[in-house]
Structure 1
Amino acid sequence: MIDNVVDLLGRIKHEEAFYYWSLFRQAQPGRFAVLKIGGECLENDLESIANDLAFLSKLGLIPIVVHGWGKTLTKRLEAKGIATVFTPEEDRYTDEEVFPHVLEVASETRQRLVKAIASKGTPVAGVEYEAKVIITKDKQDSGYGAHNGEIVLINPQPLLQLASQAMIPVLSPIGVSAGGVKLFNINGDTVGAKLVEAIDPVKYLLLTSTHGILDNPDVAIGRTIDEIVLRRDFERLVEQGIVTQGALKKVIEAKRSLEMRINGDDKSVQITKPGDIPFELFTHKGKGTLVRLGYVINEPISLANVNQRVIKDITERNFGQKLVDDYFVNGQKFVYLERHAKGLGIVMLNAVDGIPYLDILVTDNGYRGNGLATDIIHRIGPKVFWRTKFSRDATEILYRKIADGSQKFIGVDGELYAGYWIGLTFGEAEKAVNYMQKKPSNFK
C-alpha cells in the first residue's frame, strides 16, 4: 500500500500526503468522506471524476457520493416545453408535471456515473430510492410543488454497508416517504449536508464547475477564495454580494452542516473542481475553497492566573519534552486558550516594540491540520512573530503558508530554527529575528 501511495501522490509533497493519508485511514468504513458532485461537472468532466474516485479507492479511501443534475434536467424540461421555476429556497419547483422527468434524469445520471467509475476497475454501486436512505415528508408551503420534500431522517446504513465492502455508493437525491409511497426531488447540496450530519465523515467535498467559491459572481474575472472562515467572513461575503445564487446555496448548506455537527469546529467543507480532489485532500494549500466555522479562542489570560498544571501537561504531552523548571516563573506570559482546550498559544505580549511573541503553540492530537493553529496565531493580533526548530515537515509548510516572512537562524542552543512573522516591517522583522536568536529553549 505504501508503494501505491508514493506512486499515486507523485506530484504532491510526500510529507503532506502521508500526513493526510494516515489521518484519513483512521476513519471507520464509510466515514472518510461525503462527496457531492454537481450536475454540470458530470456533463463536462465525467472522466476526471471517475479518475479521482479510482485514485481514492486505490488508496483504500471510500467516499460516499451524492450527485446532482443541474442543467441536464433544465434542458430536458425545455425540450418538453416545461418552464423551470425555483422555490423561495432556490430549489427546483417540482410538481406532477416535472417529477417524472426528475426521475428519468436521476436514473440516467446515476447510471452514467456508476458506469464511468466501474470502467476504471473500481468497485461501485448505485443506490436507488428503494433503499430508503432519504426519508422525506411533504413541504407544507404554497411556494413548493407536490414533489418538493423536506428531509426527516437520513438512514445511512445501506451506504455504510457498501463502503465496508470497499464499494463506492452513488446516491441520487430522491427522497421517499416513511411508508415508501411517495417520492420527492431534493436539492443535492441539502442531501450532502444531511448525509454529513448523519455519518460524521472526516471530510465533506463539493465538486463544482469552478475551482471553488469565487471572489466575484462574474466567472470571467472571479478568482478562487482559498479559505472561508464562517465566523469571520460569512456576513461580509453575503452583504457585499460576493457569494450569490448557487454559490451562496453551497456556502449556506456548508454552514448549516458544520453548525449541526457536535464537533463542527474541527471539520471543514472543501469546494473544488474535478481533477483537483487529490490536491484538495492531500495538501495544506489545496486548489479550491476550504470552508470552516473557525475556532473560538478565548481572551488572553495571565499565565499566573490559570491552572499551570493543565497547561504544562498539554504542552509536554504534545511536544514530548519537559518544560524548563522556571518556565512559569520567568517573564510576563499570557495564554490564548481554545474554548475546549484543544489548543493554546503562550505569548509574551510586548516582546519587541510592543509586538507579541508567540512562545509556545500547541494543538492537541486529533486537531492538527484543521485550522486551529492558524486561528490561534491570527487571534493574537495583526502583528506577531514566532519560531520553531527547522524541519521540512507539515508544520513548516503550514507556517510558510500563513506567514508574511521567515528566516532561518542558529539559536543560542546551537539548534537550527526558522522564525516567522505576520504584519512586521523590515526593521521590526530584523529585531524579531535578533530576539528569537538570543532566546533560550523552553524545553530541557
Structure 2
Amino acid sequence: MEQAIVKADALIEAMAYIRGFRGKIVVVKLGGSVLDDAGLQRQILTDVAFMETVGIRPIIVHGGGKAITKAMNEAGLEPVWVQGRRYTDQRTLTIAEHTLIHKVNTPICKTLEELGCNCMPLHSLTSCVLFAEPLRLAGENGRKIDLGLVGKVTEVNSKVLTTLCDDGIIPVIASIAQDRVGGKLNVNADSAAGMVAVAVKAEKLVVVSDTHGVRRDKDDPDSWISSLNFSQIRQMIQDGQIAGGMLPKIEACLMALEGGVRKAHIIDGRIPHSLLLEIYTEKGIGTEILKDPSPANQSQQIGPSVA
C-alpha cells in the first residue's frame, strides 16, 4: 500500500508539469552511452514515449561518435582529430553516414515503434532537414583550418518538423547535413540539436550525455550544480571550469536560449528514467540552464521553479 501511495504522490507532483507542457515541443539530443548500450537506449526512449503519450511533442537529434570511430577502426582507418573535431574525408563521411543511419537511427526508430510511437527517420537518404556550410576553424595568424567535409548547421527545415509533430509523429534526426549544392557534411549533433530547438521554437532542449550535468570541479561528482544562468556559465567558461567535451554541449544550450528556447538541460542518460525525472519533478537530476533572471522571464514560467 505504501509503495502505491508513493507512486500516486509522484503522479500528483508530475501533474502540473504534464498540464503545463502539453502541446509543447521538446528537443532531445541523444549521445554518449545511450547510443552504445541497447538497454540504456530503450530506457531513455521509453521516457520519450511517455512524454509523447502525455502530450509533449518530442524531436530526437542524435550523433554517433563512438560507433563511427568503431566502424572506422574496423575499416582500417585511424580517426584524425583537429581541435577536438573529427577530420572528415569522403571515405570517413561514407562510413559516418552509413553508421548514423543503419547503426543508430534505424534502431532508435525500431525501438520507438515497439513502444507504440509513430516516428520518422530524417537523414541524408530520406528527407534531410539540416542544411550546413563548410566549417573552418581559426588557426594561427588568422589562418583557417580545413576540416574536410565537416559542416556548421545554418538552416533547419522547421516546416517538415512541425508538421510531423502536429501529426503525432516523432522526428528522429541524424547529424548529417546537406550543403547548398546537394553535397553531404558531417555536423556536430549538439550544435544541430540547438539549431533545431531554435527553428521549431521548442520549449526545452535536453542534452542526454554521460555526465550528471555541470560540475564546479569536473573531477568531483559531488560538485554537481542543479541550475545555472547565462552569466554564471560564461564565468565558469572563463575560469576553465567548463571545457573539453562539455563545452559544445553548453554552447548548444546557450545558442538555444539566445534563440528563444525557454530552458536547456544537460542530464545523465545512465540514470534510470533521467528524462522523466528532469522534466516532471521539481528538483530534477541534471543541470538546467536559463537566461539571466528578469521579471519577464519569471512571468513566463510554467509549473514550479525548476520545470
Kept in 2, the 8 Å contact 1:258–1:293? The answer is: yes
Which aligned pairs between 1:212-291 and structure 2 lie closer than 5 A?
212-218=213-219, 221=221, 223-231=223-231, 233-261=232-260, 267-274=262-269, 275-291=273-289
Asked whether the 8 Å contact 2:119–2:170 carries over to 1, the reply is yes
- 2:122–2:128 contact (8 Å) kept in structure 1: no
Q: Which residue of 2 aligns with 1:308?
A: none
Is 1:134–1:174's contact at 8 Å kept on the other side of the alignment?
A: yes
TM-score, length basis structure 2: 0.85
Residue 216 of structure 1 aligns to a residue in which SS?
A: coil
Query: Structure 2: where are the runs of 5+ without partners?
Result: 138-143
What TM-score comes out, normalization by structure 1 length? 0.60
Structure with greater helix percent: 2
In the aligned structure 1, how far is the partner of 2:266 from the partner of 2:58? 15
The aligned counterpart of 2:210 is 209
1:97 aligned to which of 91, 96, 118? 91
SS of 1:144's equivalent in the other structure is strand
SS of the aligned residue for 2:57 comes to coil
Query: 2: distance between equivalents of 1:368 and 1:126?
Result: 31
Instruction: Give the counterpart of 2:129 among 130, 133, 144.
Output: 133
Residues 214-264 of structure 1, C-alpha deviations (whole Å, 9 max, x = no match): 333237x45432112121x12332244322211121112211221233xx5
Contact 2:62 2:174 in 1 (8 A): yes
* Residue equivalent to 2:141: none
Secondary structure of the corresponding residue to residue 146 of structure 1: strand
Contact 1:93 1:145 in 2 (8 A): yes
Look up the equivalent residue of 1:172 and give its one-letter code: A
Match of 2:14 in 1: 17
- Counterpart-to-counterpart distance in 2, 1:209 and 1:138: 29
Q: Is residue 215–residue 225 contact of structure 1 (8 Å, CA) maintained in 2?
A: yes
Report which of the two structures shows the higher radius of gyration computed on alpha carbons.
1
Query: Aligned in 2, Cα 1:295/1:55: closer, same or farther, shift over 3 Å?
Result: same
Tell me the distance in 1 between the aligned counterparts of 2:254 and 2:23. 25
**Cα pair 1:135 1:176 within 8 Å, conserved:** yes
Query: Which residue of the partner structure matches residue 328 of structure 1?
Result: none
Specify whether residues 152 and 241 from structure 1 end up closer, same or farther in structure 2 by C-alpha distance, changes over 3 A only.
closer
2:163 aligns to what?
161
Whole-Å separation in 2 of the counterparts to 1:278 and 1:11: 15
8 Å CA contact retained: 1:39, 1:72: no
8 Å CA contact 1:94, 1:144 repeated in 2: no
Separation in 1, partners of 2:8, 2:268 = 20
3-state SS of the aligned residue for 2:73? Answer: helix
**Count of aligned pairs between the two proteins:** 289
Gaps in structure 1 of 5+ consecutive residues: 1-5, 297-337, 344-362, 370-393, 402-444
Structure 1 Cα separation of the partners of residues 60 and 95 of structure 2: 22
Within a 5 Å distance, the mapping from 1:60-71 to structure 2 comes to 60-71=55-66
Q: Answer yes or no: is the 8 Å Cα contact 1:66–1:172 preserved in 2.
A: yes
The answer as to 2:24 corresponding to 1:41 is: no
Partner letter of residue 194 of structure 1?
Answer: M
How do 1:342-357 and structure 2 match up within 5 A? Answer: 342=296
SS at match of 2:28: strand
1:302 aligned partner: none
Contact 2:23 2:57 in 1 (8 A): no
What residue number does 1:86 align with? 81
Describe the shift of the 1:73–1:222 C-alpha distance in structure 2 as closer, same or farther (beyond 3 A).
Answer: farther
Alignment of 1:192 onto 2:188:
no
Counterparts of 1:79 and 1:133, CA distance in 2? 30
**Structure-2 residue corresponding to 1:106:** 100
Contact 2:267 2:274 in 1 (8 A): yes
Select the structure with the greater relative contact order (CA < 8 A; seq sep ≥ 6): 2
